[in-house]
Every structure is written in structure tokens, then in C-alpha cells.
């Protein structure tokens, strides 16, 4: 039996026990994927890397091999620097795209529709609260219904920022399983594109399983494709490439501007066409290696490393393995002239030695053996670990404090803002030469990255690897920075400065061999603008310059608006971590996420038919209610809020149920719900509801003319303001063609031009401006206009 108005259900919940395998669908009541019940029939991955921004689109089709309706848990995790930017589910051949809604409203709609036996789709970060969502990269979703011997199709798109380290970049799609057995894709397609303004060298694809057929390759572009059948997804798809050092210390600029207004928001009751967007730019400086090479050299000054290793219960399984791998590589990278100490911490802190010791191979091995002999236990007291490390830093000027943890504090001070403020205060109280560099290598899909970012502001560096993410590239780059200094005071100046707004750096502490990028807005097009990046490297001034036009229209890099919005939201989220929530900040996050379409801790993707998101708007007396249902429905009855009960009649030519009714004129303006009782051909009864809005007051119109007297053949500029619910504004003058007025951001009104016909007799006329709202209410204003010969 098919359900009335049914569509796919995706309910996202960050389940703590599930690690982030990408695209794993687990049947209900199972602990592992079971291809005899649900199998991955098709998987298509489209990757487009545009100057460090990777757009990844994944389409998956799962098949049900049983004679009953199935549901399952779909589990995936994003890479550390990724943002979900689109989401859709399919009901048969109908695609149901998601829209961004405020988190609480999305959950209210979702719960309301579930009680009506509907199946909306909801995608959000975290399971319960926005605070939890700020600390997780894990997404899971319940998928239902998957029809007997049928299929279910899902689509997800995300954007990921790809770092540059020592002039190298690495990108991977997480396909290899972590907590579950690997799954097989009956049919797999991979479409790959790589574009770079900085010249490319040595592009490699380490994955042996996915052999790309290269279609195009030059200094700035690469395209390739893969197609395979019955592919065992046993490894990640990845690519490595170098940026040509011959083009180092150069500045490149990308731009994007769409002068056309954006589409109305489909979830608004009275959608209004938006105004033109500002322009967006990204300036990227490829920093040469300078004197740093690939890391600290054998002849460099001795280093002191204070390694804080998390042995709390939250570090089980894969996280522990990765944490130990990072520690092993860190300690073995030290020279005999270096010093180190190891502090194991959970609820308590256990130092390896009372003070830092020489990093000779025997001592390093002894320290690693002490880790293997320890046991995971207790909670995570990050504050106690940091306090112990600061005490040891007093004995070791210029030390590197290296925290290896998921940073999920459960003991001591646990609130991010308070803990970060405490650490910053303690760090500042130390004499300047005793303040340690705060380096943090975070592991796990649930790593507390807001805290990590705040802590690493104390002359530090932060990195993050998920539970299944390849660790080598990020770990090597992280360790290479111990003993090196970032580019000091690196900043971007754009001129004329008055034409630029809200410019954000995309990297915290760029080092030699990395990419430093800035994203911002420009207010008006210009033939040329100047960009200068300046800083100090190895004690020497560094300057990179570029000139670039600010075009009226440039659609080549559509990722820039969302990249800017994401940077702005990240700054607002950090403000919340430091100062707590406030309505204005949350409202701005929600507005940006909805406008530029990406998930945040305060917004969610909701996939339902648009009719359920945007209520019908009508006047009292508007007579028609129309409903489209599943073909199995044989009767529909409407129960109106004012006591009327009416059956709907089926219109086969339109595949729609319809009835006429009369809304009482005394009904106040507002939103109302009409309940629907539906019966199918098997006798089953379903209850659903639709909402409608009563809007009875006509728009208020105010008209302004530049002049009250005009000559024949002259053009008159019209300006009119009207209520926000207005749909159309039309000006009519006897003897002249009607003029439709459209909204102008610059004028702050609806504007249009009225041309006085040459043949119009001289005399006094009445100009009538009429406004009609979305409920077909009409308001108007008349103004006098005299036509002169």
C-alpha cells in the first residue's frame, strides 16, 4: 500500500556510537550494512576543485531486496573543513530538494508532519542542541520508506577547503569504511576536475582502486573520469598535487558578481524578489619556502616539546590509534639535542618525567612504552593538562605545547569560552620568553574544534583529522611547523579601500610554503583594483602585488559568495563561543545560511514539498481548496477551522482534489489550518493538514512624482511604496500604456518610467497607481498630472 503524499524521510541525529563512514546505509535493527537487504546500486561522485575550494556532489541509489518496506540509518561524516551546501531526497521519480530553515522551525515542521503520517526529510548538525552541533562533523539519517523491491535515491553536496602545505595539496573523498564492513557499489562513476590559477605540477592519484582516464591536462587544469562495476569501496579516492615553486610569492585574484536579483525564498509567505548581490573576491598568495625548507633542520636551535596525550575513555578505538600514531611520529621526529616531556591526562595528569628530558632514541622509546602500558579511564580534564604544561613551560623558554586529543572537556572548566579565556589569561601572565606555542592536533569526528581554534590563538597552530580521514598529509604538515615561525603580520590591503567590505582571512597562521587567502566583498564594479599582501618572512619584508578588474558580471567562480558567508558565520560562531549567544548574532547566522544555502548549528536542511512550507494565501470568501494526493486515495474530506465540513471532488484531468468553500468575512487576518481526512482503496484512513493565510486588508500605496507638469513626449519617473505583501504595482494614465513598477534597492521604492505619448491632448489627467497583493487585495492612489503642449 502506498501512502498518501508520501516522500522520503531523513532524520539526522549525530549518534555517538557511529563513526563517520561515508554513504553507509544500515538496515533497521542491524549493526552492520547488509547487502542482502539494502545494497548500494549506484554511486556517482562529481568533484570540482576550483583554486582550493572542492565542490563534491554525491548521488546514491540504494535498493531494497525484500518484499517489505524497509528503513535504515544512513551514516556519513564530513572532512574537517567541509560545509554541507545541498541536500535532496527522491520519492520515486520526484526530486524533493531541501531548503534551509532556522533549526527550531525545521524541527517543529518535521515533528508536525511526522504526526500527520508524512515523511519529511531533515538534515542538521548534531542530535539535540546548537551547542552540540558546533562540536560535531557526524551526520546520520533515518531513511524511510524504501519500498519493497524498490529503490531510494539520495543527493548530498558539500564544499571543502583544501590546504596548501610546503607547496603541496592533498584531497580525499572518504569512501573507506571505519566502524563497518566495506560496501560494494554495483555501479560507480567518478567525475574529477581540478582548476588552479597557480600553476600545477606532479598531479598524482594514490588510490589504486580508482584509475582515472585523463581527458584534459595542462598547467592549470586537469579532468578525468572513472567508471566501474561491483567496486568494493575499500579505500578512499584521493589526489595529490604540487604548486609550481617558480610561481611562488605571487598573488592571484578571483572574482564573482551576479547583477541579477536572486530568486525569492520559497519558504516565505510573501516572497519578494531580491536586489543585486555585491561582488565577491578571493585573493590568494602562494608563499615560497624561504629559508625554512620542509621543517626544522639538523643545525637549527634545540626545541622543547611538551606533548599532552589524551587517555580518557572518549579516545577509544580509531581515535586512540590515530592519536598514538601522531605521538609516535612527533617524538621520533625530535633530534637528540631537543628536549621533551610527555603528560598523559584523563581526569588526572601523569607526567613521564618531572621536567623535560633529552630526546635521545632510548628515552623516546621508553616514553612510548609508557603510553602502551597505560589504560584509558575517566573523563577529560583539559584544564588540568594545560595547567601542568604551563608549569613545565616556565622551565623551558620557547617550548611547544602539543595537545593530542579530541578536546572534549568533561572535567574542570568545560565551557569553551570560559576555558579559552582562562588559558589565555594564564598564558599572558607568563614572561614573554616562557609563553609556549600552543599546537593542537585534534582527532575524531566529534573533536571540539571551537575550543581548539580558541586555544591555538596563543601563538599556535591547529589541525583536525576525522576518524577515517587519511592522516599522513596533515600530520606531516603539522609536525613540520614545530620549530618554524609563521609569516609575521601577514595582511591584505585592497584599494580603493572604500569599495571593499568585510574581508576575512581564510587561514589562521600561514607558513612558508602554504597558501594565504582572503575573501571579501566589493561594493561597485571598477575597471581596476589593487591588492597588496605584506608580511615578514625569516626577518625579511615580503610583499606581493596584483591588479584585477572588479567586473559588473562574472559567474566563473560561484563558490565565492558561500565561501565569504561561511567565513562570516565562522567569525560569528567564535563570538558566541567567547561571549555567549545573543539574538542579533544568531539571526545573522540564520540569514546568511538561508541566503547562501549551507548548514550551520542554527539551521537545517528540510526536504518537503513546497506546498507544506508556504501556506496558501487567500481573502475571506476565496472559494477554492486544492489538494494533490497519492493515486491510491479514493476520498478526501476537509474539516475547516470555522466548523465547515466538505468533501473534495477529484479532477482527473488535473490529478487534483478540489472543493469550493466560503471563509467567513469576520475571520481575522492570520494563519489557519484545515484538516484533511483521506481514505485509500484498501480502507485505510490518514489524517493530514494544510495551512492557509487570511489576508483581507488591501495594500497601502504612496506615489511620488518628480514633477506635476510634463510636456508631450517627455518621460516621467514614477516612485511608489506599497505594503510588503504587494505582488504587482501598475501605473495607468488615460491614453498611455500601463507601466509596471519594480522594486529598486537604490531608490528604496518601486520605480518605473512613464512616457507621455506625443498625441496626448494637453490638459489635466488623473494618474492611478494600483497595488495588488498575493491574496488579490487591491489598493490604489490617484495623483494629478498636467500635460502641457
pLDDT in tens, 407-429: 999 999 999 889 999 999 999 99
How far apart, in whole angstroms, are the C-alpha atoms of residue 464 and residue 441? 6
At 520 the pLDDT is 96
- In terms of C-beta density within 10 A (0-12 exposed, 13-18 middle, 19 or more buried), how is residue 388 classed? buried
Residue 35 included in any domain: no
> Of the spans 27-41, 240-254, 611-625, 771-785, which averages the highest pLDDT?
240-254
How far apart, in whole angstroms, are the C-alpha atoms of residue 125 and residue 640? 37
Q: Is the pLDDT of residue 702 over 60?
A: yes
Q: Is the pLDDT of residue 122 over 50?
A: no
Q: Is the pLDDT of residue 112 over 90?
A: no
Residue 189 included in any domain: no
| Residue range 367-382, pLDDT digits in tens | 999 999 999 898 999 9
Q: In this structure, are 344 and 456 located in the same domain?
A: yes
Q: Which residue in 458, 391, 392, 469 sits closest to 424, CA to CA?
A: 458
Q: Is the pLDDT of residue 336 over 60?
A: yes
At 403 the pLDDT is 97
Q: Are strands 279-286 and 200-204 parallel, antiparallel or unpaired?
A: unpaired
At 728 the pLDDT is 82
**Count: domains in the chain:** 4
**CB-based contact 754:736 (threshold 8 Å):** yes
Q: In this structure, are 287 and 410 located in the same domain?
A: no
Does the N-terminal peptide bond of residue 270 adopt cis geometry, omega within 30 degrees of 0?
no
Q: Mapping DSSP to helix (H, G, I), strand (E, B) and coil, where does residue 789 land? A: coil
At 697 the pLDDT is 72
Residue 61 included in any domain: no
Q: In this structure, are 619 and 659 located in the same domain?
A: yes
At 701 the pLDDT is 87
C-alpha cell, 307: 606533548
Q: In this structure, are 750 and 687 located in the same domain?
A: no
CA dihedral 178, 184, 189, 192 (to 10 degrees): 20
Once rounded to an integer, what is the mean pLDDT over residues 489-502?
Answer: 95
Q: Is the pLDDT of residue 774 over 70?
A: no
At 11 the pLDDT is 29
At 140 the pLDDT is 59
Once rounded to an integer, what is the mean pLDDT over residues 449-472?
Answer: 86
Q: In Å, what is the CA distance from 49 to each residue of 52, 82, 160, 226, 714?
A: 6, 13, 9, 17, 53
CATH number, residue 411 = 3.40.50.410
Q: Is the pLDDT of residue 567 over 80?
A: yes
Q: Which residue in 633, 636, 630 sits closest to 648, CA to CA?
A: 636
Question: Which residues make Cβ contacts (< 8 Å) with residue 218, sequence separation at least 6?
Answer: none
Q: Which residue has the higher pLDDT, 51 or 33?
A: 51
Residue 562 included in any domain: yes
| Residue range 344-357, pLDDT digits in tens | 999 999 999 999 99
Q: List the domain range (segments joined by +) for residue 326.
A: 304-480
Q: In this structure, are 717 and 766 located in the same domain?
A: yes
Q: Mapping DSSP to helix (H, G, I), strand (E, B) and coil, where does residue 366 land? A: helix
Q: Is the pLDDT of residue 554 over 90?
A: yes
> Of the spans 76-90, 529-543, 656-670, 673-687, which averages the highest pLDDT?
529-543
Residue 1 included in any domain: no
Q: How far is CA 642 from the centre of its chain?
A: 43
Q: Is the pLDDT of residue 295 over 80?
A: no
At 179 the pLDDT is 52
Residue 589 included in any domain: no
Q: Is the pLDDT of residue 663 over 80?
A: no
**CB-based contact 606:614 (threshold 8 Å):** no
Once rounded to an integer, what is the mean pLDDT over residues 17-34?
Answer: 65
At 614 the pLDDT is 45
Q: In this structure, are 409 and 430 located in the same domain?
A: yes
Q: In this structure, are 318 and 364 located in the same domain?
A: yes
CATH number, residue 712 = 2.60.40.10
Q: Is the pLDDT of residue 666 over 60?
A: yes
Once rounded to an integer, what is the mean pLDDT over residues 254-270?
Answer: 61
> Of the spans 82-91, 136-145, 670-679, 737-746, which averages the highest pLDDT?
737-746
Q: In this structure, are 434 and 328 located in the same domain?
A: yes
At 757 the pLDDT is 86
* 391: phi then psi, degrees, rounded to nearest 5: -60, -40
C-alpha cell, 470: 587519511
At 79 the pLDDT is 65
Q: In this structure, are 512 and 365 located in the same domain?
A: no
Q: In this structure, are 443 and 314 located in the same domain?
A: yes
At 109 the pLDDT is 57
Residue 355 included in any domain: yes
Name the average pLDDT for the chain.
82
Q: Mapping DSSP to helix (H, G, I), strand (E, B) and coil, where does residue 9 land? A: strand
CATH number, residue 651 = 2.60.40.1220
Once rounded to an integer, what is the mean pLDDT over residues 435-458?
Answer: 91
**CB-based contact 156:86 (threshold 8 Å):** yes
Q: Which residue in 483, 468, 162, 578 sits closest to 292, CA to CA?
A: 483
At 297 the pLDDT is 47
**CB-based contact 768:736 (threshold 8 Å):** no
Once rounded to an integer, what is the mean pLDDT over residues 73-79?
Answer: 69
How far apart, in whole angstroms, are the C-alpha atoms of residue 299 and residue 310? 32
How far apart, in whole angstroms, are the C-alpha atoms of residue 596 and residue 560? 10
Once rounded to an integer, what is the mean pLDDT over residues 713-738?
Answer: 84
Confidence (pTM): 0.67
At 142 the pLDDT is 61
Which of 694, 712, 727 is the C-terminal boundary of a domain?
694
Q: Which residue has the higher pLDDT, 601 or 708?
A: 708
Residue 280 included in any domain: yes
Once rounded to an integer, what is the mean pLDDT over residues 674-679?
Answer: 82
Q: Mapping DSSP to helix (H, G, I), strand (E, B) and coil, where does residue 593 land? A: helix
Which of 656, 678, 694 is the C-terminal boundary of a domain?
694
Q: Is the pLDDT of residue 42 over 90?
A: yes
At 607 the pLDDT is 58
Q: In this structure, are 475 and 497 located in the same domain?
A: no
Which of 642, 675, 694 is the C-terminal boundary of a domain?
694
Q: In this structure, are 365 and 406 located in the same domain?
A: yes
**CB-based contact 322:309 (threshold 8 Å):** no
At 485 the pLDDT is 87
Q: Is the pLDDT of residue 543 over 70?
A: yes
At 744 the pLDDT is 81
Q: Which residue has the higher pLDDT, 71 or 161?
A: 161
Q: In Å, what is the CA distance from 20 to each residue of 89, 180, 319, 344?
A: 20, 10, 12, 27
How far is it between the farthest Cα atoms of the chain? Answer: 106
- In terms of C-beta density within 10 A (0-12 exposed, 13-18 middle, 19 or more buried), how is residue 326 classed? buried
| Residue range 189-231, pLDDT digits in tens | 999 999 999 999 999 998 889 999 999 999 999 999 999 999 9
At 615 the pLDDT is 46
Looking up cell 493565510 gives 693
Express as a percent the part of the chain with pLDDT over 70: 80
Element counts in the chain: helices (H) and strands (E): 10, 48
Length of the chain: 789
Once rounded to an integer, what is the mean pLDDT over residues 492-510?
Answer: 93
Amino acid at each position: 500500500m502506498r501512502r498518501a503524499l508520501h516522500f522520503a524521510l531523513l532524520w539526522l541525529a549525530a549518534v555517538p556510537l557511529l563513526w563517520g563512514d561515508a554513504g553507509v546505509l544500515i538496515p533497521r535493527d542491524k549493526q552492520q550494512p547488509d547487502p542482502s537487504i539494502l545494497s548500494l546500486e549506484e554511486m556517482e561522485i562529481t568533484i570540482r576543485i576550483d583554486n582550493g575550494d572542492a565542490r563534491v556532489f554525491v548521488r546514491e541509489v540504494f535498493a531494497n531486496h525484500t518484499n517489505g518496506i524497509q528503513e535504515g540509518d544512513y551514516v556519513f561524516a564530513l572532512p574537517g573543513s567541509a560545509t554541507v551546501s545541498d541536500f535532496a531526497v527522491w520519492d520515486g521519480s520526484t526530486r524533493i530538494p531541501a531548503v534551509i530553515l532556522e533549526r527550531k522551525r525545521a524541527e517543529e515542521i518535521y515533528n508536525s508532519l511526522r504526526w500527520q503520517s508524512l515523511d519529511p526529510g531533515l538534515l542538521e548538525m548534531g542530535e539535540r542542541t546548537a551547542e552540540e552541533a558546533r562540536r560535531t562533523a557526524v551526520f546520520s539519517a533515518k531513511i524511510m520508506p524504501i519500498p519493497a523491491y524498490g529503490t531510494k535515491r539520495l543527493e548530498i553536496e558539500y564544499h571543502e577547503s583544501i590546504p596548501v602545505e610546503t607547496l603541496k595539496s592533498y584531497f580525499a573523498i572518504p569512501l573507506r569504511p571505519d566502524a563497518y564492513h566495506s560496501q560494494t557499489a554495483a555501479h560507480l562513476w567518478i567525475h574529477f576536475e581540478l582548476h588552479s590559477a597557480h600553476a600545477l605540477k606532479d598531479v598524482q592519484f594514490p588510490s589504486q582502486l580508482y584509475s582515472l582516464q585523463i581527458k584534459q591536462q595542462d598547467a592549470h587544469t586537469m579532468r578525468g573520469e572513472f567508471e566501474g562495476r561491483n567496486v568494493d569501496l575499500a579505500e578512499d579516492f584521493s589526489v595529490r598535487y604540487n604548486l609550481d615553486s617558480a610561481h611562488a610569492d605571487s598573488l592571484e585574484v578571483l572574482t564573482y558578481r551576479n547583477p541579477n536579483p536572486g530568486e525569492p525564498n520559497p519558504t516565505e509567505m510573501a516572497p519578494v524578489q531580491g536586489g543585486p548581490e555585491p561582488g565577491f573576491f578571493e585573493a590568494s598568495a602562494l608563499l615560497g619556502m624561504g629559508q625554512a625548507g620542509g621543517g626544522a633542520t639538523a643545525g637549527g636551535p634545540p626545541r622543547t616539546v611538551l606533548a599532552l596525550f589524551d587517555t580518557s575513555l572518549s579516545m577509544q578505538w580509531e581515535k586512540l590509534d590515530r592519536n598514538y600514531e601522531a605521538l609516535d611520529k612527533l617524538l621520533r621526529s625530535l633530534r637528540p639535542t631537543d628536549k621533551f616531556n610527555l603528560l598523559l591526562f584523563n581526569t588526572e595528569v601523569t607526567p613521564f618525567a618531572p621536567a623535560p628530558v633529552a630526546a635521545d632514541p632510548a628515552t623516546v622509546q621508553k616514553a612510548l612504552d609508557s603510553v602502551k602500558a597505560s589504560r584509558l579511564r575517566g573523563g577529560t580534564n583539559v584544564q588540568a593538562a594545560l595547567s601542568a604544561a604551563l608549569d613545565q613551560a616556565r622551565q623551558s623558554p620557547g617550548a611547544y605545547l602539543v595537545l593530542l586529543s579530541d578536546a572534549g572537556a568533561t572535567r574542570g572548566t568545560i565551557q569553551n569560552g570560559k576555558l579559552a579565556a582562562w588559558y589565555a589569561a594564564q598564558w599572558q601572565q607568563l614572561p614573554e620568553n616562557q609563553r609556549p606555542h600552543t599546537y593542537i592536533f585534534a582527532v575524531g569526528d566529534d573533536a571540539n574544534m571551537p575550543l581548539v581554534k580558541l586555544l591555538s590563538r596563543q601563538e599556535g597552530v591547529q589541525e583536525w583529522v576525522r576518524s577515517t580521514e587519511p592522516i599522513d598529509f596533515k600530520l606531516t604538515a603539522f609536525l613540520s611547523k614545530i620549530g618554524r615561525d609563521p609569516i609575521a603580520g601577514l595582511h591584505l590591503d585592497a584599494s580603493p579601500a572604500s569599495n571593499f567590505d568585510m574581508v576575512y582571512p581564510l587561514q589562521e597562521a600561514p607558513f612558508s610554503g602554504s597558501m594565504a587567502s582572503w575573501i571579501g566583498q566589493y561594493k561597485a564594479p571598477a575597471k581596476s583594483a589593487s591588492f597588496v599582501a605584506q608580511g615578514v618572512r625569516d626577518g625579511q619584508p615580503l610583499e606581493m602585488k596584483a591588479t584585477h578588474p572588479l567586473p559588473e558580471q562574472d559567474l566563473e567562480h560561484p563558490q565565492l559568495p558561500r565561501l565569504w558567508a561561511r567565513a562570516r558565520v565562522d567569525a560569528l560562531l567564535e563570538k558566541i563561543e567567547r561571549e555567549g549567544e545573543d539574538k542579533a548574532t544568531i539571526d545573522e547566522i540564520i540569514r546568511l545560511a538561508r541566503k547562501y544555502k549551507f548548514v550551520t548549528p542554527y539551521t537545517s536542511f528540510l526536504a518537503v514539498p513546497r506546498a507544506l512550507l508556504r501556506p496558501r494565501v487567500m481573502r475571506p470568501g476565496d472559494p477554492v481548496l486544492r489538494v494533490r494526493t497519492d493515486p491510491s486515495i479514493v476520498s478526501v474530506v476537509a474539516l475547516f477551522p470555522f466548523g465547515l465540513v466538505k468533501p473534495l471532488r477529484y479532477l482527473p484531468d488535473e490529478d487534483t482534489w478540489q472543493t469550493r468553500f466560503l471563509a467567513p468575512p469576520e475571520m481575522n487576518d492570520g494563519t489557519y489550518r484545515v484538516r484533511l481526512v483521506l481514505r485509500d482503496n484498501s480502507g485505510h484512513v490518514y489524517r493530514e493538514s494544510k495551512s492557509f493565510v487570511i489576508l483581507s486588508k488591501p495594500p497601502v500605496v504612496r506615489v511620488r512624482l518628480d514633477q506635476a507638469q510634463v510636456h508631450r513626449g517627455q518621460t516621467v519617473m514614477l516612485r511608489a511604496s506599497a505594503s510588503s505583501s504587494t505582488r504587482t504595482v501598475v501605473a495607468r494614465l488615460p491614453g498611455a500604456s500601463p507601466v509596471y513598477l519594480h522594486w529598486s534597492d537604490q531608490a528604496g521604492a518601486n520605480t518605473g518610467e512613464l512616457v507621455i505619448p506625443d498625441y496626448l491632448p494637453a490638459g489635466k489627467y488623473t494618474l492611478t497607481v494600483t497595488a495588488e497583493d498575493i491574496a488579490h487585495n487591491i489598493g490604489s492612489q490617484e495623483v494629478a498630472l498636467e500635460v502641457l503642449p
